[in-house]
Structure 1
């Protein structure tokens, strides 16, 4: 609260006035916690704080009443106190409690002198009155910290205080309303400045208070976010209120001489204040609000399962960096069969994560977190280094394979990526011709910078593959100018071919088209012998999938390669 805050002229005025009224050389506004007494304002006193045990004010806090000690040297409670026997030589003390409505005492307003004094009943009353005035000032100060400066509505701190005051078991709900999302707010502020947005918030707050009705608090908890308790005692009643309120809040709103079209959204949560903290209740309402985005709805209830998934994703994202440092990630390798050579001539490196508490984490779960986070470049360097060092070991054993590594558009856009590839190849002692970089159409076609990066590593001898071919929307348009050598048909195209005629016709056409344009074709996701035979017969250059091999640990690759292929696969 006010403990350990800087000195304030407002409180210094109080101690000066108190000292003048009682003609005392020392006046203090004190706050007392479990271990110490701290002075918010001190006039004529050298210390900034004392321990609680030696504090005179502790007695006032304990009794919640005015205490007067006319001669401390004659009082057995204080005669041996170091504040009496030595500097600052306190001989007189009078203190009045700073009392909250709850009965809790924050500290005192007190006066001291270096000689014994008398203190009349009238003076005791005056000191108590000054203490109450000080307390009123403190409460005003606190209220000012719980009010939004723009809308003058209670803010998040006030919401939390009000929720903490609710008894456990009280059925409670929050409705978090957002006027506009963060991206639009930034666009508006760039275009017209912050003042029109503040005017909009004020107008929206007035409309929301009108909808809430008398006796219902509306809180301003974010730049464009408001919170309230939805009307109703049941889930369905609250939902009906939310739907009706959002319908009335939507539409054009005049603000600052402009008309802005609003489409507010809301997240709702029901909770027991005895089991859920105020911060968590607001967080859950925020998670519900976030789930509305892109859904076509205008509000959503908190979904515990979805919330758990978001929290898990957040935890995983935080754990990625220490996991890299602790060696929790490893690479496995899926063999790729070259149908032209009738042999396995390459592998694809695939990252795996064994979390010490959560166990094996699916790549489908952690790879998007890596690609969207700040560690994408560090992670890709680790993959390149680990994969190429392993490739060098295999080459040293006479196992001549190529190594495929997946990279993202963010890797290609980084200026250091080309140098990273060159230096890691040199460090591992691997000829760049044995490195295959796999990237998606999105990565290849993102910008001139990504294409320049691909051309630069191609010039070193690195082979480029277009991964997930067939999943995008513009593959055919970009086929004639892709800076790649190989197209990997996505498993979503390949897996149905042994039971779906149209899927098979599509794959055959893509193989023919790719060859006509000078690309080699690899089919991934080959899971049956029939699919394998069909692809081989159609002239596919290479295949990869569980029918041939699941991803293997590095030490299993040499033994796998020693096993002869069945005749029908050669």
Structure 2
């Protein structure tokens, strides 16, 4: 299980607040994935979000599944840091080597993931790249991947802002509707109050009723003049016609026997309900004897929300239960005031442009921000719907009106449109207009609509940039593969309709990899940009040049009058590309090979024409570099054979169908076996035994040699560990294996798991290994030699600089190529062998002659000073079981005598 970030709880909370998990695909996220796959030339690109127990793919390219468990994901490690996580070969990384994503059918080898950093320490997931082949990943590429990840984060931020904006709009609309309801209640309350006042005046006039109210937070009861007189008080009434009487004064007027009854009625009403009725006696006014009976009706007024009792209002004498609305009026006025204050605050502080449209008159209220976001002063434009529509871009007006009509007709819950608005400067800026009808008449016709304008110009610019990146090569700016196929399809459609001929040129750079590896990726990028410029300068209007990935380009010639025109163009492209380039003060020269297919002669469908042009390119590279070839019928037969062999090779690797054979190395001084060379064989079920020369070059070209070489190294060490301790095992290492990371770890792993001592392992390399990046390779060889591993230079003499490498690195053994052994009677060949022996002796290295098949060759290489031989004269390469039989002969000393008898050194 990958470790958890220290702030995992906060990270998960941030992720879930976004409400983005399990949402539908979105074009801008998909565009980033497509861009990443094209930019880095990988089959799979993903935008992943890491939940508590899973990773979910918000966007994906090149894969069908929607996610995996978090436990096995690479991305769970990528979110532990803000840096890009790069795994160049997953089989060599202990964190992933045994993952089902690596060992299973997915066979992931390469991974690069840039974390999606929402804010400091909060990493939601990754933008990641996946490949089934190991590969290197430069710092520049890491920076490019981080840039794309920042675009993803920007869209996530926009997503979060959109959620917040929608919530704010809903709250504002709800507040507006509450305000309107408050206004309605306010008017209703006024009407009811006026009606109640009229009724009360009538009641007072008809029955002499008295009105009173008592707030529980005060010590006085407010009484009408009639009510005050009923209680025996005289006084001047205020402008509001109320006379204040304290609770103590009122209680003193109540008959002592009735006071507990009145208090109990109040208490019961407070506890059980809102109304009460009680009869009690009060003293008559001063100067009069006795008490007056009053029938009092009261109502408890409670808070609408909390239910707390606030006051009692009521009537005395014969006035039955009536409800006063004064408290409701006060509360309504308060809520209305607060709603207006909140709305005013929202209008003043918000960053959106608010509008309120009277649909009947066309008049619109615009907030100050609405004006200023378009560069106008508040009130500078007429406040009318025609103003907004008149500023709308003509291309957006029709859709805007259609969306408004759709909302008016009730076919959408909310009006929302993205449109361009002309600013005061004359430019256009993108806004998101959202609104909702808040009132309709009895027939459902809209009367009023409110909404906002949100500035989305930055998002639109980002989307435009992403759209451009999705259709253009990020490095050269040329159209990418997507645009290339669109143009090709359109032109071939015209060709199928009889509108002339066209041509497709597939171009592959020669010696680009050497420049890239020698001078570095920045120089390689500069070279590609210069080549793109040269190609673009040599095409005509209407033609299209595109970069398909790596060092591959394609050119569509839209109109072809004669095949000579295509030949002339191809040669001019070769000449242009072949001119020297200055890369940071270093002059380099590269070439270009071109494959050409003509339409309709070589195909009138994009896939067929491209395949045929690619076949012609393959033949051009195979024949003579820096040349062009036209497609010819039958070219695809050889390619199909090669592709079939590659497919079968991949299947054989998965099934473990390869085998190791071992050819002995004989020491000339005593005719004893001193070791074996491990040679790979492919026992094919239908083709029979396939020799290395038939499949090793293909394995190197496709990169399969890395996994094959790793298996061969482990298998050879495992087999040799059971041999007598003086015997060495030699294993060939390809130049491709040196180009991939992990070779040293692989050697250590093979020695450790097998238990073979390092001094018994010999790694055989050819000069081609050193040509790639001599300094890095020699440094690697020195580290391996420091472990005790021996290093041999194989096929010596076939290259042009072998002698210089002998001077720079002390090889333990040198192997004379079989071509010199075959021509050993040629004085020149014999002189070269003797020279090599002399050089090797100066370094203390042994010299092995390969391909010795006759007694004459055996004697001659011995006379020339070779120390060891290898070839059919000693033994053919043997499978493991026959090697065991041979070792038994060696242990019994039978082999030496049999060998000497066979070549005639001992008379039978």
Which of these residues, 501, 518, 523, is aligned with residue 827 of structure 2?
A: 501
Task: Report the counterpart of residue 806 of structure 2 in structure 1.
Answer: 479
d(CA) in 2 for partners of 1:505, 1:421? 37
Which of these residues, 606, 610, 626, is aligned with residue 278 of structure 1?
A: 606
Which of these residues, 694, 716, 734, is aligned with residue 387 of structure 1?
A: 716
On the 8 A contact 1:266/1:300 being kept in 2, the answer is yes
d(CA) in 2 for partners of 1:472, 1:199? 36
On the 8 A contact 1:412/1:449 being kept in 2, the answer is no
On the 8 A contact 2:793/2:815 being kept in 1, the answer is yes
Task: Report the counterpart of residue 877 of structure 2 in structure 1.
Answer: 551
d(CA) in 1 for partners of 2:805, 2:470? 57
CA distances 1:418-461 after superposition (whole Å, capped 9, x unpaired): 44434422321322232222122344685444334433443443
Assess, with a 3 A threshold, how the Cα gap between structure 1 residues 526 and 247 changes in structure 2: closer, same or farther: closer
Runs of 5+ consecutive residues of structure 2 not aligned to the other structure: 1-24, 29-392, 415-467, 578-588, 890-894
Which of these residues, 383, 396, 402, is aligned with residue 17 of structure 1?
A: 402
d(CA) in 2 for partners of 1:448, 1:231? 49
The 5 Å alignment of 1:89-238 reads 155-163=484-492, 174-176=503-505, 183=512, 204-205=538-539, 208-209=540-541, 218-222=543-547, 225-228=554-557, 231-232=560-561, 237-238=562-563
On the 8 A contact 2:492/2:604 being kept in 1, the answer is no
Which of these residues, 426, 431, 436, is aligned with residue 757 of structure 2?
A: 431
Task: Report the counterpart of residue 525 of structure 1 in structure 2.
Answer: 851
Which of these residues, 797, 800, 820, is aligned with residue 470 of structure 1?
A: 797
CA distances 1:172-227 after superposition (whole Å, capped 9, x unpaired): 66242759889599979955997x9887676544xx24xxxxxxx63444476421
| Greater Cα radius of gyration, structure 1 or 2 | 2
d(CA) in 2 for partners of 1:262, 1:451? 26
Which of these residues, 541, 563, 566, is aligned with residue 242 of structure 1?
A: 566
**SS of the residue 1:566 aligns to:** helix
1:566 has 2:894 as partner:
no
1:300 has 2:642 as partner:
no
Note the C-alpha offset of 1:155. Answer: 4.3
d(CA) in 1 for partners of 2:596, 2:861? 52
d(CA) in 2 for partners of 1:225, 1:271? 15
d(CA) in 2 for partners of 1:411, 1:263? 26
Note the C-alpha offset of 1:281. Answer: 1.0
Note the C-alpha offset of 1:386. Answer: 0.4
Assess, with a 3 A threshold, how the Cα gap between structure 1 residues 151 and 444 changes in structure 2: closer, same or farther: closer
Note the C-alpha offset of 1:388. Answer: 1.5
Note the C-alpha offset of 1:148. Answer: 8.4
On the 8 A contact 1:164/1:273 being kept in 2, the answer is no
On the 8 A contact 1:412/1:454 being kept in 2, the answer is no
Q: How many residues align?
A: 427
d(CA) in 1 for partners of 2:850, 2:507? 44
d(CA) in 2 for partners of 1:170, 1:480? 65
Runs of 5+ consecutive residues of structure 1 not aligned to the other structure: 27-42, 46-143, 210-216, 254-260
1:325 has 2:654 as partner:
yes
d(CA) in 2 for partners of 1:545, 1:262? 40
Assess, with a 3 A threshold, how the Cα gap between structure 1 residues 279 and 435 changes in structure 2: closer, same or farther: same
Task: Report the counterpart of residue 541 of structure 1 in structure 2.
Answer: 867
Note the C-alpha offset of 1:408. Answer: 3.5
Note the C-alpha offset of 1:372. Answer: 5.1
**SS of the residue 1:472 aligns to:** coil
Note the C-alpha offset of 1:468. Answer: 0.9
Task: Report the counterpart of residue 450 of structure 1 in structure 2.
Answer: 777
Which stretch of the first structure deviates more once superposed, 333-342 or 514-523?
A: 514-523
TM-score when scaled to structure 2? 0.40
d(CA) in 2 for partners of 1:148, 1:220? 11
d(CA) in 1 for partners of 2:707, 2:593? 38
On the 8 A contact 1:346/1:403 being kept in 2, the answer is yes
1:267 has 2:595 as partner:
yes
**SS of the residue 2:781 aligns to:** helix
d(CA) in 1 for partners of 2:788, 2:594? 54
Task: Report the counterpart of residue 79 of structure 2 in structure 1.
Answer: none
**SS of the residue 1:393 aligns to:** coil
d(CA) in 2 for partners of 1:176, 1:349? 44
Note the C-alpha offset of 1:487. Answer: 0.9
Note the C-alpha offset of 1:489. Answer: 0.2
TM-score when scaled to structure 1? 0.60
On the 8 A contact 2:592/2:625 being kept in 1, the answer is no
Which stretch of the first structure deviates more once superposed, 381-390 or 274-283?
A: 274-283
CA distances 1:519-542 after superposition (whole Å, capped 9, x unpaired): 211100223332122123333211
1:288 has 2:616 as partner:
yes
d(CA) in 2 for partners of 1:262, 1:283? 25
Task: Report the counterpart of residue 817 of structure 2 in structure 1.
Answer: 490
Task: Report the counterpart of residue 670 of structure 2 in structure 1.
Answer: 341
d(CA) in 2 for partners of 1:496, 1:554? 32
The 5 Å alignment of 1:19-58 reads 20=405, 25-26=410-411, 43=412
Task: Report the counterpart of residue 403 of structure 1 in structure 2.
Answer: 729
On the 8 A contact 1:486/1:519 being kept in 2, the answer is yes
